[in-house]
Structure 1
Amino acid sequence: MPIITLTTDFGTRDPYVAALKAAILKEEPGTIIVDISHEVERYSIPHASYLLTSVFRDFPTGTIHIVSVHSLSYKQHKFIALKIDEHYFVGSDNGLFSLLSESPPQQSVRILNEKAERTVFPAKDIFVPAALTILRFQDLLKTGEPINSIETLTNLKSYYQNNILYGNIIHVDGYENLITNIDFMTFEKIRNGRKFLVRFGKEKTDFLGLNYNSVQPGQCVCLFNSNNYLEIAINQGKAASLLGLGYNKKVMVEFF
């Protein structure tokens, strides 16, 4: 059965998500629609990229992912469809897709649709028709014209300067664990056997746990989560509330 996933910053209060699903099911009633998340922080490309990279490879290859986050941000941004790691993506060329993989897209096209210049709801007017075309033909060229490159973002990634690895909190999960954009491979490459100190808010630690139970209930722990990103948590507690930290707050790792 064909699968289409949805990732948006719409929330669930309004009928926007239902409108997308209705548009898909009206044309292809047998489609399996999976919600990755509709609670992306408004306009947040880093948050959306984290949620997508956490899960999209768990779907069968050939899955189509509609992404509507910050989709009408700039007039010069194109609406695009692309193939990354054997998965199809449809959305705005706002830099988000450059954060999903270390490898460049296998194929990219600019979506050609007469509504593109005037739409205020591109997810329904542009992305859904393109996704359905891909579903039917498994061919990106049926949706538009080839392009040689996509918008890339590098300033949203962690960076290293003067023995300090700088990152940000990009997601607060339902347990109020704080997930950063510092990944394990970057950490280990820079660390190179050196000692380190993780600084966040008013706290600091030189200990990395294997899991939440590496510390006693109520204690704070830093660890690399199942997606290999540095996470700050409190065992059986709410790190965001208790530490006074949240989305986009800075986290630093000092090496010495």
Structure 2
Amino acid sequence: MLSINPQLSIIDITHKIENYDVAHAAFVLKSVFREFPKGTIHLVAMNGTSNITDGFIGVKHEEHIFLGPNNGILSLLFETEPGIVVQFADIHLKESTFPAKDILAPIAAKVASGAAIHDFGGPLGQFRKMVPRHVKANKKEITGHVIRIDNYGNLITNIEKTVFDKLNPGKFRIKFSREILTHLHQTYDLVEPGDCFAFFNSLGLLEIGINHGHGGDLLGLRYDSPVFVEFITETNIIE
């Protein structure tokens, strides 16, 4: 990319995505892309040679541009349909064992230098999609799942603070593995080492774990494990 335009500012978000883990890649990019200026080009190098990849696409959403393989990963970034999706034309593609470098990087550099993604292909009505796990919520309970385990073993769920705040009558039980918590904490260190914690993190998602311990291993939880928030009302107490 720098050989095309030496003035480009290139920022590595991460090179530590688990191998072949599309959900991990999508979670990281979805969590951080809004921290970059509008107009940023995000290059996604994930499973580009997979047999489910149907070419390469450019997507414009919330004034950010995403370039990546058409294998479903980009669909996991958005809650709504993106405004523009472009299928890159064959003339811009080549046989490659490293398409992120040989195909997407040159297009990214040219778009960052002033070209439009439409210059490299035409509109794509439907791109490959994956369906993420959604919470189930009612006045009695929220049922969510672990969507990420970080390097410390802390478990991030898909239970959003906005949903919790809307339904919470004041008393609740957070249930996971064999543990039950009845209140939220502000951060990891407000419980003793070895004790469980639960709080809403900077992403607005419920995070659980064990202070100074690997929550995933010690609690027997992994990606997609269920987590429950049970709301306590007077009716529940009578029952």
Scaled to the shorter chain, the TM-score interval is 0.7 to 0.9
Structure 1: 5+ residue stretches without partners: 1-23
* TM-score normalised according to structure 2 size: 0.82
- How far apart in 2 are the matches of 1:37 and 1:56? 12
1:133 aligns with 2:110: yes
Percent identity, aligned pairs only? 39
Aligned pair in 2 of structure 1 residues 29, 88: CA closer, same or farther (>3 Å)?
A: same
Match of 1:242 among 207, 218, 226: 218
- The SS at the match of 2:216 is helix
Q: Where do 1:70-85 residues align within 5 Å?
A: 70-75=47-52, 77-85=54-62
Q: Which moved more, 1:131-140 or 1:115-124?
A: 115-124
TM-superposed CA distance for 1:75, in Å, is: 4.4
Q: How well do the aligned residues superpose, as a CA RMSD in angstroms? A: 2.6
Amino acid at match of 2:19: R
- Give the Cα separation in 2 of the matches to 1:201 and 1:248: 12
Q: Which has the higher strand share?
A: 1
Map Cα deviations across residues 170-222 of structure 1 (whole Å, 9 max, x no partner): 32223322112222234445x35375433322323232223224433432111
Question: What's 1:6 paired with?
Answer: none
Q: Please list, as runs of the form range in 1=range in 2, the aligned pairs for 1:1-256 lying within 5 A after superposition.
A: 24-75=1-52, 77-114=54-91, 116=93, 118-154=95-131, 156-160=132-136, 165-189=142-166, 191=167, 193=169, 195-255=171-231
User: Secondary structure, in 3 states, of the residue corresponding to 1:90?
Assistant: strand
Q: Deviations over 1:123-172 (max 9, x none)?
A: 11221122122112241111211112333332x22231786544332322
Unpaired segments of 5 or more residues in structure 2? 233-239
The SS at the match of 1:89 is: strand
Report the alpha carbon displacement of residue 104 of structure 1 after superposing the two structures with TM. 2.2
Q: Give the equivalent residue in structure 2 for 1:5.
A: none
Aligned to 1:8: none
Read off the aligned partner of 1:112 and give its amino acid letter: A
State which structure, 1 or 2, has the greater radius of gyration over its C-alpha atoms: 2
1:232 aligned partner, one-letter code: I
User: What are the superposed Cα offsets for residues 214-255 of structure 1, whole Å, 9 maximum, x if unpaired?
Assistant: 433432111110011111133344323433434443333345
Distance in 1 between residues matched to 2:160 and 2:46, nearest whole Å: 23
Please report how far the alpha carbon of residue 49 of structure 1 lies from its aligned counterpart in structure 2 after TM superposition: 1.7
TM superposition score normalised by structure 1: 0.78
Taking the aligned partners of 1:200 and 1:77, their CA distance within structure 2 comes to 39
